[in-house]
Structure 1
Amino acid sequence: MRSEKHMPAAQKLIDNADQGRFELHRDGELVGWLYYTHLRPNRYALRHTEVESSHQHQGVASAMVRHVLDQIRAREGTVTAICPFVVDYLSRTAAYTDLIDPRHPGYSDRATAEAAQRKPGN
């Protein structure tokens, strides 16, 4: 019996501006999305991350956030981190510190971001 290596899924990030979200597709299937608001001059408020239930706990959210941040860097943009997952991701790496908007950084930690989302009206 031969053993087959697990091949990484083909991933593609699409900016669905009409929906206001980046979408991650794996092998042609939509597996996750990250809602954003594009602000002037070139700032992205990263608001909410979702992953299809059948793809949770497979690294989809982390891969998507990494691709989104790389895309924003390529566009010479900055980010305001509002989504608790994005805030947590950014707190675990220094690789994207340069993307955080100095005037409007967003939340500094996941607990604060989650508390803000629980407030009435959010």
Structure 2
Amino acid sequence: MGSEGQGRAAEHLVDNTEQGRFELYRGDDLVGWLFYTHLKPNRYALLHTEVEPTHQHQGVAGAMVARVLDEIRTRGGTVTAICPFVVDYLSRTEGYADLIDPRHPGYSDRATAEAARANNRR
């Protein structure tokens, strides 16, 4: 038996509809979450990604976004990318272009998404 996977607890994704976020757990520990709004007919506006400080720089955000996109695909949904991290992830990762909603794609690049977020905070 190899040492692959040892030292890292199993990850699982939970859709916390009450809080409007997907949550990534490693074992029993909540390590990150991605806020969303579920719009009709079956579109998810992906709004904001957060990672627990103790789990930053460990690939949590990327793993979580991939799991969220895979989950949305299984639901037959589309995404509108608002979160700068999600926008960046989609721009550098192949295999998810089919999930971007053609009528409401969101932002096309991270800089635009971050500028829009900064303007909304004012």
TM range (shorter): over 0.9
Cα deviation, 1:70-116, whole Å, max 9, x if unaligned, reads: 00000000000000000000000121000000000000000000000
Find out whether 1:15 has 2:3 as its counterpart: no
Once residues 118 and 38 of structure 2 are traced to their aligned partners in structure 1, the CA distance between those partners, rounded to angstroms, is 23
Aligned to 1:67: 67
2:13 counterpart SS class: strand
Aligned to 1:89: 89
Give the alignment's TM-score, normalised by structure 2.
0.93
More moved, 84-93 vs 8-17: 8-17
Once residues 121 and 84 of structure 2 are traced to their aligned partners in structure 1, the CA distance between those partners, rounded to angstroms, is 17
Q: % of aligned pairs identical?
A: 71
CA RMSD, Structure 1 to Structure 2 (Å)? 1.6
Once residues 64 and 47 of structure 1 are traced to their aligned partners in structure 2, the CA distance between those partners, rounded to angstroms, is 14
TM-superposed deviation, 1:28: 1.2
Which amino acid letter does the alignment assign opposite residue 82 of structure 1?
A: I
How many equivalent residue pairs? 120
TM-superposed deviation, 1:9: 2.5
Gap runs ≥5 in structure 1: none
Cα deviation, 1:18-75, whole Å, max 9, x if unaligned, reads: 0000000001100000000000000000000000000000000000000000000000
Find out whether 1:105 has 2:105 as its counterpart: yes
Runs of 4+ in 1 over 3 A off after TM superposition: none
TM-superposed deviation, 1:121: 4.8
Aligned to 1:50: 50
Gap runs ≥5 in structure 2: none
Which amino acid letter does the alignment assign opposite residue 48 of structure 2?
A: H
Aligned to 1:118: 118
Once residues 23 and 43 of structure 2 are traced to their aligned partners in structure 1, the CA distance between those partners, rounded to angstroms, is 18
